[in-house]
Structure 1
Amino acid sequence: MFKCLCLSLALIVPIAAAETTSTPPLIKSFSAKYNVLHKSKPVGTGTRELSYLDSGLAKYSYHTNIEWLIFSDTRSETTIVNVDGAKVTPTHYTFKREGTGKDKYYEWQYDVDSKTAKDIKKKRVKSIEFPENIQDKLSYHFQNRLNLINNPKQQHFVYPVISTSGKIKNYVYQYDGEEELMLPYGLVKTIRLKREVVDKKRVTYAWFAPELNYLLVKLYQIKGGVEQFEAQLTDLATE
């Protein structure tokens, strides 16, 4: 009798231990800092951060602070997302901009299962047929990095992104080659993606470093042939 009881407990304990073991996230918490440049001259700084909340959700944010001549621009963008393996689903998005010109503020809550989006600022709820893998204007950056980690050879990326007005538009990126960059952070090997918005004459290039788990290390944008901005990685702290 006693031997049977001991054997039963021996079988139960490992199972219970296995149930409490959680799979580590593909991207650990981090804080990455960037220099923001205009025509190769520093005009500000940016910070991209990821942390995991007690609720099980993840908080992903990007902040920039720019001062150029008499122009000032401070932006804060945050998304709260559910991460299921390599799939990101947005639940709450906030954007705030202050500085020269008109200030802006947007805040939305998303419930993909119930097909609703709540505009917190205007206190209204919209019914939306969310497409598969819906993203907000920041969460798609997180999803894109996970896609690169899982499939480094992928050539074409399409993300249905919901805007601050509640409309959905596909963001399309193409693989654009490999490049070794000398950044303030140091020398890194990268892959480059390109996004072109023809109707706005805007082209964005984004560089990701495989050795840093495909972290975004450089961003460059031009519009109508004129440089808009450039961001270069200066520092990285991980969990």
Structure 2
Amino acid sequence: MIKFYRHKVMLTNKWQRLIVAIFILLSAKVSAQTDNETLLLIPFEATYTAYKWDDDVGDVKIRLEPLSTSQYSLTYASEVSKFFLSDERFEHSIFHVADGTIVPETYYYKRTGTGPDKQLELTFINEPEKRIEVVGGDVLPWRGETDNQLYRLDLGHRLAHGETDISYDFINYRGEFKHYGIEVIGKETLSLPVGKIDAIKVKLIRNNNTRQTYAWFAPSLSYTLVRLQQFKDDSEQGDIQLSSYVTL
């Protein structure tokens, strides 16, 4: 059973090609932004069932909660296992909202399970010069990139305003700079563990053509992510589907 804590000590997932590859889809710096748009964030907790080859292999939880008027906490936790393989992951972002923009402050990532454990901690600093400090590591230039998971919140906001020309620059859970585009495919009605939901389907555009990642966001749930599916060489690597959703 996954439990949430506000501190940076939780689980995360890594099943290569399953939830990490799948959730690498997380970032958030929009190429085109309208300053007078208000970014409305509704605190929530969403639970997902993770599938591999149609088998239930674990759970994922995402939780957004306010820390102050403009500061928020976003956590992602997953536990996945199949046969003798196991993977637990945890991501924690602290961020604030300024002029309709999500601005990262700190990011923490931890992975345990089969194979080597991994951990990353980043601090985004504005003054005296913009930079990203890797705890125990390098100091990197910060040119407006976000962290590995804030994409979900921003993308829902852009979809709600009918935007279709969207792209993201971010630093991923390995500490690497990445750029992805988003293609809005259209509307679909999904049959998920939580029930039938109307959603907007998008595709992640990346340089690696061997992988295809699709995501669905539900207008009725404040454009929250309700499904994420990834393929490699036309073979499904993983699929997470919403099983419960509550506002906080």
TM-score normalised by length of structure 1: 0.82
Amino acid at match of 1:147: R
Indicate the residue corresponding to 2:46 in structure 1: 32
Structure 1 position 119 matched with structure 2 position 134:
yes
Indicate the residue corresponding to 1:138 in structure 2: 149
CA contact (8 A) 1:195 1:204 kept: yes
Measured in 1, the distance between the counterparts of 2:79 and 2:174 equals 24
| More contact order relative to length (CA 8 Å, sep ≥ 6) | 2
CA contact (8 A) 1:196 1:202 kept: no
**Matched ranges for 1:59-78 at <5 A:** 59-78=73-92
Aligned match for 2:95, one of 81, 88, 91: 81
Structure 1 position 187 matched with structure 2 position 196:
yes
What's the CA shift for 1:164?
A: 4.4
Indicate the residue corresponding to 2:121 in structure 1: 107
Aligned match for 2:218, one of 209, 234, 238: 209
Measured in 2, the distance between the counterparts of 1:165 and 1:35 equals 25
What's the CA shift for 1:200?
A: 5.4
Percent identity for Structure 1 against Structure 2 = 30
What's the CA shift for 1:178?
A: 1.0
What's the CA shift for 1:168?
A: 2.7
CA contact (8 A) 1:63 1:76 kept: yes
Measured in 1, the distance between the counterparts of 2:86 and 2:174 equals 25
Indicate the residue corresponding to 2:105 in structure 1: 91
Measured in 1, the distance between the counterparts of 2:173 and 2:81 equals 25
Query: Deviation digits for residues 120-142 of structure 1, max 9, x if unmatched?
Result: 133x433x1414xx211111222
Amino acid at match of 2:148: K
Amino acid at match of 1:190: A
Judging changes above 3 Å, is the alpha-carbon distance between structure 1 residues 190 and 106 closer, same or farther for their aligned structure 2 residues? same
Q: Which consecutive aligned stretches of 4+ in structure 1 deviate over 6 angstroms post-superposition?
A: none
Q: Which runs of 5+ in 1 are unaligned?
A: 1-23
Indicate the residue corresponding to 1:17 in structure 2: none
Instruction: Please state whether the residue corresponding to 1:144 is helix, strand or coil.
Output: helix
Q: Which structure has the bigger radius of gyration?
A: 1
What's the CA shift for 1:198?
A: 4.0
Instruction: Please state whether the residue corresponding to 2:151 is helix, strand or coil.
Output: helix
Indicate the residue corresponding to 2:235 in structure 1: 226
What's the CA shift for 1:201?
A: 1.1
Instruction: Please state whether the residue corresponding to 1:27 is helix, strand or coil.
Output: coil
